[in-house]
Chain A
Amino acid sequence: MKVNLQNNKDFLAGLLMIAIGGIAFYMALDYPFGSALRMGPGYFPRVLAGILITFGVYVSLRGLRTKEKVEGVWGWKALAFITVAFWAFGWLMDRVGLIPSLVVMFFLSAFAGHEFKLKEVIILTALMTLFAYGVFIYGLGLPYRLFWWD
């Protein structure tokens, strides 16, 4: 029997649920369970993790039967650049100030798109950074320094 599981939507979804449920259950073993009368902090999480695992088993088994595929393509490149853009912005904010952080963030996220036109990205970055200054610093009065020397 040859079944392509790599692209099986429900099978993978079920596996993910089982994995999350399993980790949640394992971690909750450290929290006292208590009893129904006096529920400990481990009671609710363990019950929920158990339910999630049950759903996961059902969904993955169903996937073996229906064999529905994941629709469309995976946008890994876009996801990676956008995730890194968020991370970089957070990491840079405390270190170099708002404006350099925004510039890095705009360039990183622009790489997630289909085409990267340098001139466009520069103009967009400049305009939106100005806009961000207007909304967040001037409008909302958020206390961020603009550059590292501020």
Chain B
Amino acid sequence: MEMFANLIFGFGVALSLQNLIYCFVGVFVGTAIGVLPGVGPLVTIAMLLPITFNLPPIPALIMLSGIYYGSQYGGSTTSILMNLPGETASVVTCIDGYQMARQGRAGPALAIAAIASFIAGCVGTLLIAMFGPPIAEMALKFGAPEYFSLMLMALVAAACLSSGDMVKALAMVVLGLLVGIVGTDVNSGMARYSFGLPELTDGLGFTIVAVGLFAVSEIVKNLETKERGEVFTSKIKHIMPTLHDLKVSIGPIMRGTGVGAFFGTLPGTGPSIAAFSEYMVEKKLAKDPSRFGKGAIEGVAGPEAANNAAAQTAFIPTLTLGIPGSGTMALMLGALTIQGIAPGPQVMTAKPDLFWGLIASMWIGNLLLVILNLPLVGLWVQLLKIPYRWLFPSIIMFCAVGNFSVNNSAMDLYLVGVLGILGYVLMKFDCPPAPLILGFVLGPLMEENLRRALLISRGDPTVFFTRPISLGFMIAAILIVITMILPAIRKKKVEAYTGGGGAP
């Protein structure tokens, strides 16, 4: 029953007027920006991250996670109404959600997405409260070899299970690790890759990398082609789903929550693969699979639940191990670090108010999402009509002023420009940015733990394979690579990511 005591303590923190306001602002702003076409959760968080540095740690984290699930939900709205996914995970929602909207059932599609997200969010929050402490306790016993192997496994898993090309994703992890080296080496005091710039001896700022790689490349990509998309605005009359809708959705919501929680908890996997897998599951289980892709409500309910459950449980490895599973979680971890909190299992004991307050605020945030979204659908639809040529200069403004405010340094903005060019070129070559930012965040930790592990073992690299827990992580990493190389499984992955036909 310690869990409930902890949760009550957490609600005590989250329900303070100040934190409640930040949670509300986060969810509201997150949804509003997430709804905007062409602005996914990654861009939203990257753009608003610098602003939260001006807040104390707890409100900053509460607001950021509000932004995170708000933008995730806002993205579903855009997917359903415009067939424009803001990120990989919402591609699945597009398939049946947009078809429902075309049939005049946009209201029920949006409502079921909200309900599914809420149920999944509640379960996800409970799971974090339940499994967070034991995992953190176990992780406290990890030594340097275990940490190194765990990070290696998480990075390999993230690269191999992402939607794109595995080799390029692995290369991007390595590039991220290299970019993470920029700055002064803690052991020798030597400035590495600083190019003679004093600003770089403290390391490359996290927000610079996030904005450069995610925001700039995304905006330029959107500007390559002319604006498109058809909005279904006039037809949203019946918001509430029928009793029949609810009845057929219960199963998918429950299964989606399970699938999502599973993938969210694993380090290296996240909402995208969860949503895609759940769609496949529902299609396999359906009596009449041909309805999928033509506006089946199960095809919205299941993946939305999976998406949100994974989004919530992704906080488990991030908060308890300090190992993020996705690009967005890497951004959250970076936010923690910049607030002066070393991520890892000690956060729970050293900062219980932050940990439990954040968990409680997640539940409150999910509740706010439902309360906010159903009545405000009309407002979100209005936002969809804003042309992109008004949006992107405003996004650039937030990125520019926000980044400037971190160090008050013009150099930071010059670097944003340079990384923006790199990010855009990499994107054109289909090199995914998310593994890069994961590597960037974990790079310094990985080097430190590698160093320490080899110091303990007197330079013997077999230390990673002789300690049982470390060996387990290593075997898992190798297994992931091997299975992904096998042609049969690789084909399955491609199938899972294209939704097995019927994708837009």
Contacts and interface: CB of A to CB of B under 8 A. Distances in A.
B229 to A, nearest CB: 15
Given A41-B190, A48-B178, A52-B175, A132 B397 contact: yes
Interface string A104-118: 011001101111000
Interface string A55-75: 110110010000000111111
B447 interface: yes
Nearest to B416: A86
Contacts of B390: 120, 124
Contacts of A45: 178, 181, 192-193
Given A31-B192, A87-B417, A105 B178 contact: no
B178 A75 contact: no
Contacts of B431: 13
A140 B420 contact: no
B226 A114 contact: yes
B224 interface: yes
Nearest to A102: B397
Interface string B186-198: 0110101100000
Nearest to B185: A41
A53 to B, nearest CB: 10
A136 interface: yes
B429 A16 contact: yes
A20 interface: yes
B405 interface: yes
A49 B193 CA distance: 12
A36 B413 contact: no
A5 interface: no
Nearest to A8: B429
Given A86-B420, A87-B414, A90-B413, A78 B396 contact: no
Contact of B389 (A90, A94, A115): A115
A9 B429 contact: yes
Contacts of B221: 75
Given A36-B459, A79-B421, A142 B405 contact: yes
A58 B174 CA distance: 14
Contact of B223 (A102, A113, A120, A142): A113
Contacts of A102: 397, 401
Interface residues of A, number: 69
A95 B178 CA distance: 34
Contact of A85 (B178, B396, B459): B396
B493 to A, nearest CB: 18
A72 B416 contact: no
Nearest to A42: B192
Contacts of B469: none
A52 B405 contact: no
B174 A51 contact: yes
Interface residues of B, number: 65
A69 B401 CA distance: 37
A20 B175 CA distance: 8
B219 A82 contact: yes
Given A41-B187, A74-B428, A85-B400, A36 B461 contact: yes
Nearest to B219: A82
B393 A40 contact: no
A12 B175 CA distance: 16
A91 interface: yes
Interface string B414-448: 10110011001110111100000000000000010
B489 interface: no
A23 to B, nearest CB: 9
Contact of A70 (B193, B216, B412, B429): B429
B46 to A, nearest CB: 14
Which of A13, A44, A75, A135 lies at the interface centre, i.e. has the most chain B CB atoms within 10 A of its CB?
A44
B263 to A, nearest CB: 26
B223 A16 contact: no
Given A41-B188, A55-B171, A128 B178 contact: no
Given A48-B177, A52-B171, 15 more contacts: A35-B459, A36-B460, A41-B187, A41-B188, A49-B178, A55-B168, A59-B168, A59-B171, A75-B221, A90-B411, A90-B414, A98-B401, A125-B393, A136-B401, A142-B54
Interface of B: 51, 54, 167-168, 170-171, 174-175, 177-178, 181, 185, 187-188, 190, 192-193, 216, 219-221, 223-227, 388-390, 392-394, 396-397, 399-401, 404-405, 409-414, 416-417, 420-421, 424-426, 428-431, 447, 450-451, 454-455, 458-461
7 contacts: A9-B430, A72-B225, A75-B221, A86-B399, A98-B401, A124-B390, A132-B397
